[in-house]
């Protein structure tokens, strides 16, 4: 029987601000001198329960792997459930007033400040976008639907991880747990949705439109350590080929020979979706360029930055270590490379490619960590259509566009056994906001939270034909 339309309750911004004030910095969790962080991790579930009482009253909650929160919303059928994901841990941010002021923050990153930005109410602080804002959108939608008396036709599982920023052990454990439970019922998730793309204005320079960038896949990752060893000694008579210059030469070789640009299915689907939205001569040429994968890959590669990363395995030099004193030649020098792997290549391809570029047997190339790119979810079926329909209601005039995610998410653990895994946070993020993720002055508008809640509500109710939606 239909129930009354949902209007939602005010105060989503204030609830997000409170969760931001809970300093759940996973990189500090477990540090012996960070009792405040341990306390924050212990308190967060309680904050969530107080802010969302119906969610906790009507859904079954389990704690998995220490900080993973798993909720089951029982529907009329346990088959083909919907899985909604977010994480509540955050990356570090400056703590003292001098530190955050020197770093460029306008206020304490953990103050959860309710401010006016871009002409409207907003919330600023670490985690506003990554990923407590998206978590709030899910929790708000469930709370509002429960208040209206809604019961889904299919089970809804909610996964809130507490360690995504340090590897996602919670999500790995929850994924395996759900895999076994659903397998015993002869089913798998109808759709898994996690953070990833966002509602983005002008995703390419030739596209003057707002697009919902829905991740079909995410790049793989390989972290490599380059090590050179040799004789140390006094800095007054340096020998040729000592560790530091030898390592520097290896790094220059890697930088001068980037991996070639190559088209992948997800980026090709993105270009096809953006073609009708493009303008000018570039817009007219885009359909032809898209049909020629090599030309399109080279064109995106030439743009550099995020566009190039969609078609190329990237290599970032992130850490350098050498020496113990200003006047002593180091006996060893090390560098760490963080490589993000485009679909179609593997961790092994990257290790071999870096070794060839270094071209020096005295430089050891060691794999620290590696994970191949995820499979690519389809964009031509009812799941992607359901995401597009929810976008159309929550963000009118916004085009759903397939997207390749550059970073790693908790959802990668589900992609090993689920075909339909998508990555999209239904929040508006312009270029400056995207740059603030893991950076400074991270913020989200209250309007964006409201629309994000509407998106999640429409996604949940979209499969329930008896539901009367406003």
Which DSSP letter does residue 107 get?
S
Please state the rounded mean pLDDT for residues 222-232. 92
What pLDDT band is residue 465 in, cutting at 50, 70 and 90?
low
pLDDT of residue 2: 36
pTM over 0.75: yes
pLDDT of residue 240: 79
Q: Are 351 and 225 in contact (CB under 8 A)?
A: no
Tokens of 416: 């090993």
The H-assigned helical ranges of 185-278 are 243-256, 265-274
Give, in order, the Cα–Cα distances in Å from 98 to each of 104, 105, 106, 125, 258: 10, 10, 11, 16, 39
| Whether the predicted pLDDT of 292 surpasses 90 | no
Q: Taking the mean position of all CA atoms in its chain, how far away is CA 183?
A: 27
Give, in order, the Cα–Cα distances in Å from 429 to each of 21, 153, 202, 445, 448: 22, 32, 11, 9, 9
Give the rounded percent of residues in the chain with a pLDDT score beyond 70. 95
Q: Give the Cα separation of 463 and 470 in Å (integer).
A: 15
pLDDT of residue 282: 66
Reading phi first (left if > 0) and then psi (alpha if -120 to 50, else beta), residue 126 is in beta
What pLDDT band is residue 294 in, cutting at 50, 70 and 90?
confident
Please state the rounded mean pLDDT for residues 262-273. 90
The pairing of strands 154-161 and 68-73 is: antiparallel
Q: Are 109 and 122 in contact (CB under 8 A)?
A: no
Q: Give the Cα separation of 86 and 184 in Å (integer).
A: 25
Q: Give the Cα separation of 189 and 181 in Å (integer).
A: 11
Please state the rounded mean pLDDT for residues 14-28. 98
Q: What is the pLDDT of residues 295-306, one digit of tens each?
A: 778 878 887 888
Q: What is the pLDDT of residues 385-412, one digit of tens each?
A: 999 999 999 999 999 999 999 989 999 9
| Whether the predicted pLDDT of 466 surpasses 80 | no
Tokens of 458: 């429409």
pLDDT of residue 287: 67
Give the rounded percent of residues in the chain with a pLDDT score beyond 90. 81
pLDDT of residue 6: 66
Please state the rounded mean pLDDT for residues 38-48. 98
The pairing of strands 77-87 and 191-201 is: parallel
Q: List phi, psi (to 5°) of 222.
A: -140, 125
pLDDT of residue 238: 78
pLDDT of residue 371: 93
Q: Say how many C-beta atoms besides its own lie within 10 A of residue 291's C-beta.
A: 13
Which DSSP letter does residue 239 get?
P
pLDDT of residue 463: 74
Q: Is the alpha carbon torsion for 426, 430, 436, 438 positive or negative?
A: positive
Domains of the chain: 12-217+375-461 (3.40.630.10), 219-371 (3.30.70.360)
Counts of helices then strands in the chain (DSSP H, E): 15, 17
What pLDDT band is residue 231 in, cutting at 50, 70 and 90?
confident
More confidently predicted of 30 and 288? 30
Q: Give the Cα separation of 376 and 351 in Å (integer).
A: 23
Q: What is the pLDDT of residues 405-462, one digit of tens each?
A: 998 999 999 998 999 999 999 999 999 999 999 999 999 999 999 999 999 999 999 9
Q: What is the pLDDT of residues 342-358, one digit of tens each?
A: 999 999 999 999 999 99
What pLDDT band is residue 4 in, cutting at 50, 70 and 90?
very low
pLDDT of residue 150: 96
CA nearest 172: which of 68, 87, 79?
68
């Amino acid at each position: 029987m239909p129930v009354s339309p949902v209007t939602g309750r005010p105060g989503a911004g204030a609830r997000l601000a409170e969760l931001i004030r809970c300093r759940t910095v996973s990189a500090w969790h477990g540090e012996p001198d960070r009792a405040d962080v341990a306390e924050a991790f212990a308190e967060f579930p309680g904050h969530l329960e107080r802010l969302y009482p119906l969610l906790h009253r009507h859904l079954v909650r389990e704690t998995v792997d220490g900080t993973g929160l798993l909720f089951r919303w029982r529907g009329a059928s346990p088959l083909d459930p919907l899985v909604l994901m977010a994480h509540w841990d955050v990356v570090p941010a400056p703590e003292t007033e001098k530190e955050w002021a020197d770093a460029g923050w306008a206020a304490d990153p953990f103050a959860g400040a309710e401010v006016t930005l871009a002409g409207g109410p907003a919330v600023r602080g670490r985690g506003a976008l990554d990923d407590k804002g998206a978590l709030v959108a899910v929790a708000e939608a469930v709370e509002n639907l429960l208040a209206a008396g809604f019961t889904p036709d299919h089970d809804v599982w909610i996964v809130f991880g507490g360690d995504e920023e340090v590897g996602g052990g919670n999500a790995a454990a929850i994924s395996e747990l759900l895999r076994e439970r659903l397998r015993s019922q002869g089913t798998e998730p109808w759709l898994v949705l996690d953070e990833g793309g966002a509602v983005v204005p002008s995703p390419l320079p030739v596209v003057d439109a707002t697009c919902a960038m829905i991740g079909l896949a995410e790049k793989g990752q390989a972290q490599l350590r380059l090590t050179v060893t040799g004789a140390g000694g006094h800095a007054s008579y340096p020998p040729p080929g000592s560790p530091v210059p030898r390592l520097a030469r290896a790094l220059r070789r890697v930088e001068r020979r980037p991996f070639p640009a190559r088209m992948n299915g997800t980026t090709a689907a993105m270009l096809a979706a953006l073609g009708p939205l493009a303008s000018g001569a570039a817009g007219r040429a885009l359909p032809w360029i898209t049909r020629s994968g090599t030309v399109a890959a080279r064109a995106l590669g030439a743009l550099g930055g995020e566009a190039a990363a969609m078609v190329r395995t990237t290599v970032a030099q992130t850490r350098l270590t050498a020496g113990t004193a200003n006047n002593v030649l180091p006996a060893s020098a090390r560098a760490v490379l963080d490589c993000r792997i485009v679909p179609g290549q593997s961790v092994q391809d990257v290790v071999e490619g870096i070794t060839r570029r270094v071209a020096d047997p005295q430089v050891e190339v060691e794999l620290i960590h590696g994970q191949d790119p995820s499979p690519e979810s389809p964009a031509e079926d009812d799941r992607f259509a359901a995401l597009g329909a929810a976008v159309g209601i929550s963000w009118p005039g916004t085009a759903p566009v397939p997207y390749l995610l550059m970073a790693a998410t908790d959802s990668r653990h589900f992609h090993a056994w689920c075909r339909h895994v998508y990555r999209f946070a239904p929040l508006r993020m312009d270029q400056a906001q995207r740059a603030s993720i893991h950076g400074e002055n991270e913020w989200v508008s209250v309007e964006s939270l409201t629309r994000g809640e509407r998106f999640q509500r429409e996604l949940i109710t979209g499969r329930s034909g008896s539901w009367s939606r406003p």
